[in-house]
Amino acid sequence: MAEHAMYFTDDKARRIYLTKKIISRVFVYLFLSIFALFLIAPFIMMIAGSFISADSFHKFTLNGDFSYLGFGTNELGEANWSFANYKQILSMNNANYNFPVYFLNTFIVAIISTTVTVVTSVLAGFAFARLEFKGKEALFAILLATMMIPGEMMVITNVITVDLLGWYNTFAALTLVHGVSVFYVFYLRQTFQQIPNELYLAAKVDGVSDLGYLWKVMVPIAMPTITTIIILSMMGAWNSYVWPNLVTDNTGWALNGNHSMKLVSNGLRDAFNANGLETGEAIKIAGSMVISTPLFIVFILFRKYIMRGVSRSGIKG
């Protein structure tokens, strides 16, 4: 009887524990689902709004009439959903606006700036992680201290520097000025420090140079972190708005030199104003979708590398 009672007590405790665990998980997943809904809803509305005609979008936003999200027609007999907004965005091709040129400018800037940032971050991260030289810790502390300075405080200085170097309205101004990231240097230094120092000492005994060791050993091991830096740096360059507005105008290298050096973000904004589309909210949303789609695809394809790189940066050994 005593054994049976003890078994019943243990089984009852186990069921209570499992019940509490299931209930807690239900509440956690319910909370995460609600939170995810709040995050995803604006994006879904942006996708839907980009296909709605201007007249339907106006009534939809003012009256909250969700019938405009359907595949029917409005009171004018026009289809609620169409690609007209996207066609208008892609067809704006004149002396003041050229979407393909903006897109090409952004692609070039993203590739060059990302390449420069990765190279400088890898070299600096390796130097602070493995090389020994006087003042290394003090210099690294100074670099970290610069992260406390808001970037807006350096805008005027950078603009003056660009003007003195004659880089105004050039790709050099859009790429090289921001070719160094202290955060990425710190990020890579932490990753490189996880690699056992014995590998470096063994490579030196075998006569391998520092750059050879960096390229053959450290870079392959730290590739998840480097991939994360590539993705984040490219996203930052693609979304750049303030800096291109300061160092570019409506003349440039493309075609006859009459097309803007601006990127897609600020280029579309100028195009909307130039074409009198301040009230064309549906078209603006379609433009935002055109800009965001490449980044969204990149994030979906490489999100696992971002997670892997973040997790590796916090693990020692």
Range from 20-29, 84-93, 205-214 carrying the lowest mean pLDDT: 84-93
Q: Give yes or no: residues 69 and 187 share one domain.
A: no
Q: What is the mean pLDDT of the chain?
A: 78
CATH for 294: 1.10.3720.10
Q: Give yes or no: residues 183 and 219 share one domain.
A: yes
State which residues form the domain around 47. 2-87
Q: How many domains does the chain have?
A: 2
Q: Give yes or no: residues 71 and 104 share one domain.
A: no
Q: Give yes or no: residues 71 and 132 share one domain.
A: no
Per-residue pLDDT, 1: 45
Q: At what angle do helices 136-146 and 99-129 cross, to 10 degrees?
A: 150
Q: Which amino acid is at 116?
A: V
Q: Which amino acid is at 164?
A: L
Question: In this predicted model, what pLDDT tens digit does every residue of 228-237 receive, in sequence order?
Answer: 898 888 888 8
Choosing from 87, 110, 140, the residue where a domain stops is 87
Q: Give yes or no: residues 105 and 70 share one domain.
A: no
pLDDT at residue 39 above 70? yes
For residues 108 and 112, give the distance between their C-alpha atoms in angstroms, rounded to a whole number.
Answer: 6
Per-residue pLDDT, 79: 53
Choosing from 30, 59, 87, the residue where a domain stops is 87
Sign of CA dihedral 224, 121, 110, 284: positive
Q: Give yes or no: residues 35 and 177 share one domain.
A: no
Per-residue pLDDT, 315: 45
**DSSP, res 217:** I
Choosing from 60, 87, 114, the residue where a domain stops is 87
Q: Give yes or no: residues 112 and 152 share one domain.
A: yes
Q: Give yes or no: residues 247 and 213 share one domain.
A: yes
Per-residue pLDDT, 251: 64
Q: Give yes or no: residues 81 and 159 share one domain.
A: no
Predicted TM-score (pTM) of the model is 0.74
Q: Which two tokens stand for residue 10?
A: 């243990």
The pLDDT of 10-20, averaged and rounded, is 79
